[in-house]
Structure 1
């Protein structure tokens, strides 16, 4: 028996108590407060009531305030004319179950049936489906917590005990005025037929609310609908993220300037930079590229770097990933011929065996002649993954959402191009004759009998 009671305790805690505690204390997956400068939200539960709700609507109209009504389905079914008036006067309607019963005491299927029945009643009167839900007493179960209902759950930041007649209007005024601040979501009741409430309690609420609305006008505060408050929150959050993004971009571009100086990067086309590069000694594992060229540790390569400022400007102007890719392709098509001619014309690049780079935007580089492969696992791969994901979240037109589409699609890739491919595909006709490392190796013994100085002069002429 004790074991059974213990299991029942665990089950009830998992199903009801823990989700309720997390939502009420931490606000997880519920909306309960805004951050507006001049707006607060009046919300009313348990209605509609044929006596008190029309009086409330008249009061709100007189002070030009909007509110949100969480309706009990059975009450809405009995008083469709009041539901219609709420809707026509521009207030928001949400669901408060078909009957005022705690979700802790109902199975998930029963809760869904209550929601659907109330939804259908409201839709039949207003022609609109409600999208917001306040469970009775603000109590959620595991399935509400998991957002299986499909509705946005709205709780509150302030409640005042207005369902009890003994509270009185004077005490209510004092309690509400203490919470009359921007961003508050106030819970009041326009019906007193719920178990535990007093039938005449809404009259005290109406008397108190009139004084509160008078004071709200004096303070230049306005009650708005919950959906308006949530949309304002989204815009504000977006603006904050935009400011944060600009700060991050500024710091990133400053770091890029420092990086270019520290590692002596050269720019292919300084007037319109896209590709930067530096000669380095390849330190990775041996790789056989698509044309059979083998890149081994110690070989000389040109390490490529995209211009982050250019990428950011392209990303900010692009409305889709396709537009971003097209702009990058055009920039690459412009820079690769210039880079090929630079390799041909500069004696110091005569030993370069290929191009080398790491990128997160690796769709379609094969069309340029690049060999693409995964980075070998290790510290460099891990750090490159973090760095490039941060960069992509800033420059990509869909930002963070692009990073959630699967880790395999967003893995950094190693790009390599044999120098032969670079020269043959991109160098201008009539450029200086190119001697690849393969040709130099084949003729090495012919030059071995010459003095070092002569060989050097021949290569540098």
Structure 2
């Protein structure tokens, strides 16, 4: 018996309590408030009511305010003329079930039946199918989250507890104290539901007369929930864009410091597409396609893309194809200059080849590079994370590419022997203009 009780409590928590807390308290899966400075959204539940809804509509019209009404299907069916008026006057209509019963006390199929019936009633009256839904008392179950496929779930950020007859002054004080930009305000235009006082909406309407005056003085703007959602998305995009710009700025500063500390310099002062440093190779043996090998202790030229230039190329390209063409052309121009740099370097006889690690390796074989897998281990893991973060920062569609092309975005080693460079590009080097000839870039070890 005790075991059955514990199982029942667990199922109750999983089905009702946890989803309810997640949505009401943390806003999971629902819209509660927006990133907005001046806009607020007034919403009215439990109507339409033949006594109070017309008064409320008159008041909204007087102040030229658009609001959102979450209506009960049973009342909409009885008072079709009010639904028609709400729609005609430019307000948004959402669904609040057919009757005011909490979803926690209804079977999932009954919730769906109530919603669908209400939708059909409103659509028949207005000609538009409502897609916004607020559950009674804001209580959602686990299965209610499936409704997100068809509806935008809307709760609230501010309430005035106006379902009780405590006078207009109490409602006014609560509203003026709690209204902020981005607020979604819960009010009621009917007092016939369980727990409400029948005359409570009268005090709400009286309070709103003064609240609307105060809001206009504060230069706030009242909008519908759908308009608030749109503002929220715009604000989120702006915030993400600003955050990305800040991250990019910090990344570029980090890269500049890295180049300074490790003496990484551009191969071409006029075209900074590629940066290099000479160092001793410390990794596992790399077997190249021409039969040569780069072994631990060999001196190599390490390759680094200029990420600032890559970002400029990416943002200046109208499509991935255009970006790819730009990179191919830049690589074609820089390859002979890599060879010239090696030939002019004091350590030339000891430089075995060039080496780098990059996500950008498609088409590298065309230029003579051998592609290899990164050895498994901590270094490989952090290299992958670093390069993926770099793509997220630099590429305008970096997040989408990481989500859709995750399997393709695997960093690989790219390497080529000095002999292969000579074979392929020796005819193209005649002291290429702009090549860095400052031999102070000494080998690191």
TM-score exceeds 0.5: yes
Tell me what 1:300 maps to. Answer: 299
Quote the Cα distance in structure 2 between the aligned partners of 1:418 and 1:20: 63
Tell me what 2:158 maps to. Answer: 158
Tell me what 2:441 maps to. Answer: none
Equivalent pair of 1:38/1:222 in contact (CA under 8 Å): yes
- 1:16-73 CA distances to partner (integer Å, 9 max, x unpaired)? 0011112222222222223432221101111223442233222112112121111222
The Cα shift of 1:157 comes to 1.8
Confirm or deny that 1:175 pairs with 2:174.
yes
Q: Residues 119 and 273 (structure 1 numbering): CA distance in 2 closer, same or farther, change over 3 Å?
A: farther
Tell me what 1:375 maps to. Answer: 374
Quote the Cα distance in structure 2 between the aligned partners of 1:422 and 1:80: 81
Tell me what 2:40 maps to. Answer: 40
Tell me what 2:93 maps to. Answer: 93
The Cα shift of 1:15 comes to 0.3
Tell me what 1:326 maps to. Answer: 325
Secondary structure of the corresponding residue to residue 93 of structure 1: strand
Q: Residues 77 and 417 (structure 1 numbering): CA distance in 2 closer, same or farther, change over 3 Å?
A: farther
Equivalent pair of 1:280/1:301 in contact (CA under 8 Å): yes
Secondary structure of the corresponding residue to residue 403 of structure 1: helix
The 5 Å alignment of 1:277-356 reads: 277-346=276-345, 348-356=347-355
- 1:162-206 CA distances to partner (integer Å, 9 max, x unpaired)? 223x32323322222222332322111112232233343322222
Q: Residues 163 and 377 (structure 1 numbering): CA distance in 2 closer, same or farther, change over 3 Å?
A: same
Secondary structure of the corresponding residue to residue 362 of structure 2: coil
The 5 Å alignment of 1:96-107 reads: 96-107=96-107
Quote the Cα distance in structure 2 between the aligned partners of 1:233 and 1:361: 35
The Cα shift of 1:149 comes to 4.6
Larger displacement relative to structure 2 (277-286 or 301-310): 277-286
Q: Residues 170 and 342 (structure 1 numbering): CA distance in 2 closer, same or farther, change over 3 Å?
A: closer
The Cα shift of 1:296 comes to 1.9
Q: Residues 120 and 180 (structure 1 numbering): CA distance in 2 closer, same or farther, change over 3 Å?
A: same
Larger displacement relative to structure 2 (146-155 or 389-398): 146-155
How many residue pairs match? The answer is 431
The 5 Å alignment of 1:375-454 reads: 375-405=374-404, 407-429=406-428
The Cα shift of 1:358 comes to 1.0
Larger displacement relative to structure 2 (141-150 or 14-23): 141-150
Equivalent pair of 1:161/1:167 in contact (CA under 8 Å): no
Q: Residues 277 and 163 (structure 1 numbering): CA distance in 2 closer, same or farther, change over 3 Å?
A: same
Secondary structure of the corresponding residue to residue 130 of structure 1: coil
Q: Residues 355 and 234 (structure 1 numbering): CA distance in 2 closer, same or farther, change over 3 Å?
A: same
Secondary structure of the corresponding residue to residue 235 of structure 1: helix
Q: Residues 326 and 150 (structure 1 numbering): CA distance in 2 closer, same or farther, change over 3 Å?
A: farther
Secondary structure of the corresponding residue to residue 291 of structure 1: coil
Q: Residues 134 and 427 (structure 1 numbering): CA distance in 2 closer, same or farther, change over 3 Å?
A: farther
Quote the Cα distance in structure 1 between the aligned partners of 2:38 and 2:423: 66
Q: Residues 137 and 350 (structure 1 numbering): CA distance in 2 closer, same or farther, change over 3 Å?
A: same
Larger displacement relative to structure 2 (304-313 or 415-424): 415-424
Quote the Cα distance in structure 2 between the aligned partners of 1:124 and 1:364: 59
- 1:222-246 CA distances to partner (integer Å, 9 max, x unpaired)? 2211222222223223323333322
Q: Residues 40 and 376 (structure 1 numbering): CA distance in 2 closer, same or farther, change over 3 Å?
A: same
Structure having greater relative contact order (Cα 8 Å, sep ≥ 6): 2
Confirm or deny that 1:232 pairs with 2:231.
yes
Equivalent pair of 1:131/1:152 in contact (CA under 8 Å): yes
The Cα shift of 1:431 comes to 5.9
The 5 Å alignment of 1:353-364 reads: 353-364=352-363
- 1:204-263 CA distances to partner (integer Å, 9 max, x unpaired)? 222221121122122222221122222222322332333332222222222222222222
Q: Residues 116 and 390 (structure 1 numbering): CA distance in 2 closer, same or farther, change over 3 Å?
A: same
Structure 2 gaps, min length 5? 432-445
Quote the Cα distance in structure 1 between the aligned partners of 2:428 and 2:183: 72
Tell me what 1:251 maps to. Answer: 250
Q: Residues 418 and 51 (structure 1 numbering): CA distance in 2 closer, same or farther, change over 3 Å?
A: farther
Tell me what 1:62 maps to. Answer: 62
Q: Residues 291 and 121 (structure 1 numbering): CA distance in 2 closer, same or farther, change over 3 Å?
A: farther
Larger displacement relative to structure 2 (58-67 or 421-430): 421-430
Quote the Cα distance in structure 2 between the aligned partners of 1:35 and 1:362: 40
